Structure 1
Amino acid sequence: MLKRFLLVCVFFLLVSCSKNEQPVIAFYYWKTIFKLSQTEKNILEVNKVNKLYIRYFDIGLQEQTKDPIPISPIRFEEKANNFTIVPVIFVQNKVMLNSNLDIEALAQKSIRLVNQINEFNKITVQEIQIDCDWTLNSRDNYLKFIERFKQLSHKKLSATIRLHQVKYFKKTKIPNVDSGVLMYYNMGSIAPDSSNSIYDQKAAEKYLKSLKKYPLNLDAALPIFSWGVHIRNQKVVGLRSKVNVSELKKDSNFEQAGALFFKVKHSNYKNGIFYEEKDLLKIEAVSADDLKQIAKELDENLARTPKEIIFYDLDEFNLKNYEKNIFEQVISCF
């Protein structure tokens, strides 16, 4: 009888663990107009995605007065009622560096704009997320802003957390939010060498052991974007988004110079950018194997299994680089 009872207990324990272990799939939506393409809709449907983190607006500084201003608020061209929406406010770090920042006014105006967007589009939200790569110099203003925003919004509040903020949290401090999202990308330096600044396993290893010590519950954001690093005379002159590698291979103005690099054969304009002869374009991307490796690293090093894995970002250009079931494959690693 006792043996049977123990077996039943073990069974229910295993069932409960299996139900809690695997995260759910969510996406960031980082465009100024909300309108889903058919490809984007298909991916959301196939992966049973119910939650979108939508960038509502940036907060930057007005050039002359240096006052905080909203930049490019989102415009909804179709309804988002089928999803749980989390508005994301991206706050430029230079805003928090302003020693004369009126934190009370900024919190009030930010919440007011979120509410206006929601009311106009008939959206109800339970959570708001603040995205800011704060530093030691901007820390105090940022933490005060988070405190006041939470008090005024009466919503669940989450914040993005960078790897350096995890490793040095005793200095950078921990924002008073309900949960954090670990941004597991952009961990290396953008350089003319062969390293990948989006995901670099060696760079990641410097931070992994710190994850278990971080006191805040963390979900994770994983990269599915790519870009081209434009190099001239061994110096980085800019980042080029949405570089189509297939088009580059067909373009007579470029020639492939290794697995990652394209060399400019003839000076030309492409997508509004001038490329000088002998310039290099380094393609930085995250492969399906990289994503699964990231998931394994996080599974082994986070203090608890994330409730959500949020992929950055939902865009047809990004999605076409992966199989439809890659997202299921990634969360199955937890």
Structure 2
Amino acid sequence: MKHIYWFFLLIIFSSCQKEVQHDYGFYYWRSNFDLSKDETRLLNQSKVPVLYTRFFDVQKKGNAYEAVGVLQKKHENSVSKKIVPVIFITNETWYKISKKDITFLAQKTTDHINNLAKKFDFKLENEIQIDSDWTKSTKDDYFLFLNELKRISKKDITSTLRLHQVRDKKTMGIPPVKKMYLMCYSTSSPLENSDKNSILDLTLLKAYLRDLENYPVKLDIALPIYSWGIVTNHLGKHKLINAIKTSDLENKNFEKINDNMYKVVKDDFYFGMYLNKGFEIKVEEVPESDILESINFIDTKLNYPYHIIYYHLDNQFTQHYKNLIK
């Protein structure tokens, strides 16, 4: 009888547990800042008070450092949210960089952010997010840059965090920031010959985040709401086509090989690219169920409320996730 009592008590307790609700926000990752009416509506109804907006990338060219892919704004397009500038910096930027150049780069990054914000009339949050896939050999210089950027900009500096940097935190180090954004996507390279989903592989995610509760920095969680097609030519070389879904290939121009693999039936232009007969297209999508499973898993690891930041705000993607974004 005692076992039965505890069994029913457990059922009652479980039924009283409320599903954890997380406020969500968005990344904006397009090269031109121009929100549609639907995108503006989705942004305004989200409870996270900022929009994480990619401003530019930084790369090393010879002995110089340059900003590339700088955000453009061709139309008057205001948003009610404050903007958090996101700067992607290639890992190669940190190779053999001097302390003097680190300070120089921090100053130039700050200046460029402020100039763009003034040009576009953005209201900036007191935060700059840096996205860089640092390694064991570059971590010291990257961490120094984060400190220099904080000193020069007088802003709160945050950083992205990749899955392998969680798993290997002892060798990869912990960035000197108070908050990070865990990127639960790009779990492998899309250019590898693999039957795995390179955008989000749940088995890999769970393995890499097995000890997530021990990560010493507070996290928000970035999750993917995008898709693409991986084109393989006759020589085995790969290219990506953005925003393809399986439904785009369910027609006479493509032969279905399996659930997410198709073969081009005739030479022609498809999705803005010329494809030859026999080229194969692997479609990678992220179903809502996989995102929900990711959230449920992370909820078992983190005992504090966190925000979900969806990558990224674009109606061609958001329209397929209406149960998540509502």
User: Structure 1: which 4+ aligned runs deviate by more than 6 Å?
Assistant: none
- For these two proteins, the number of residue pairs brought into alignment is 306
Instruction: Give 2:275's aligned amino acid.
Output: Y
What's the counterpart of residue 217 of structure 1? 218
Q: Which moved more, 1:309-318 or 1:265-274?
A: 265-274
Deviation for aligned residue 1:71 = 0.9
TM-score w.r.t. the length of structure 1 is 0.85
SS of the residue corresponding to residue 33 of structure 1 reads coil
**Residues 92 and 258 of structure 1, relative CA distance in 2, 3 Å threshold:** same
What's the counterpart of residue 75 of structure 1? 72
Instruction: Give 1:322's aligned amino acid.
Output: Y
What's the counterpart of residue 267 of structure 1? 267
Asked whether the equivalents of residues 229 and 236 of structure 1 are also in contact (C-alpha less than 8 Å), the reply is no
Deviation for aligned residue 1:35 = 1.1
What's the counterpart of residue 155 of structure 1? 155
The Cα offsets for residues 124-172 of structure 1, whole Å up to 9 and x where unpaired, read as 3311100111112221221111111111111111100001111111111
Q: Which moved more, 1:217-226 or 1:271-280?
A: 271-280
Asked whether the equivalents of residues 253 and 268 of structure 1 are also in contact (C-alpha less than 8 Å), the reply is no
Percent identical among aligned pairs is: 33
TM-score w.r.t. the length of structure 2 is 0.87
Instruction: Give 2:83's aligned amino acid.
Output: I
Is 1:295 aligned with 2:292?
Answer: no
**Residues 284 and 25 of structure 1, relative CA distance in 2, 3 Å threshold:** same
Asked whether the equivalents of residues 246 and 260 of structure 2 are also in contact (C-alpha less than 8 Å), the reply is no
CA distance in 1: counterparts of 2:313 and 2:23, whole angstroms: 15
**Residues 48 and 215 of structure 1, relative CA distance in 2, 3 Å threshold:** closer
Deviation for aligned residue 1:249 = 1.9
CA distance in 2: counterparts of 1:234 and 1:224, whole angstroms: 31
SS of the residue corresponding to residue 325 of structure 2 reads helix
What's the counterpart of residue 117 of structure 2? 118
Q: Give RMSD over aligned pairs.
A: 2.2
Deviation for aligned residue 1:32 = 1.7
Deviation for aligned residue 1:72 = 2.2
What's the counterpart of residue 172 of structure 2? 172
Is 1:51 aligned with 2:50?
Answer: yes
Asked whether the equivalents of residues 104 and 145 of structure 1 are also in contact (C-alpha less than 8 Å), the reply is yes
CA distance in 2: counterparts of 1:247 and 1:124, whole angstroms: 38
Q: Which moved more, 1:31-40 or 1:271-280?
A: 271-280
Asked whether the equivalents of residues 213 and 303 of structure 1 are also in contact (C-alpha less than 8 Å), the reply is no
Is 1:319 aligned with 2:322?
Answer: no
CA distance in 2: counterparts of 1:142 and 1:59, whole angstroms: 13
SS of the residue corresponding to residue 258 of structure 2 reads coil
What's the counterpart of residue 6 of structure 2? none
SS of the residue corresponding to residue 327 of structure 1 reads coil
Asked whether the equivalents of residues 54 and 86 of structure 2 are also in contact (C-alpha less than 8 Å), the reply is yes
The Cα offsets for residues 266-299 of structure 1, whole Å up to 9 and x where unpaired, read as 2333234232322211111111111111110111
SS of the residue corresponding to residue 118 of structure 1 reads helix
CA distance in 2: counterparts of 1:48 and 1:215, whole angstroms: 26
What's the counterpart of residue 33 of structure 1? 32
**Residues 199 and 234 of structure 1, relative CA distance in 2, 3 Å threshold:** farther
- Which ranges of structure 1 fall in alignment gaps of 5 or more residues? 1-16, 329-334
Instruction: Give 2:179's aligned amino acid.
Output: S
Q: Which moved more, 1:235-244 or 1:145-154?
A: 235-244
What's the counterpart of residue 104 of structure 2? 105
Alignment of 1:235-274 (within 5 A): 235-250=236-251, 252-274=252-274
What's the counterpart of residue 10 of structure 2? none
The Cα offsets for residues 18-66 of structure 1, whole Å up to 9 and x where unpaired, read as 8xx633211000012111112212322444553210001111123xx34
The Cα offsets for residues 218-263 of structure 1, whole Å up to 9 and x where unpaired, read as 110000011111123583512221225433223x331222210111
SS of the residue corresponding to residue 235 of structure 1 reads coil
**Residues 229 and 81 of structure 1, relative CA distance in 2, 3 Å threshold:** closer
- Which ranges of structure 2 fall in alignment gaps of 5 or more residues? 1-16
Asked whether the equivalents of residues 211 and 303 of structure 1 are also in contact (C-alpha less than 8 Å), the reply is no
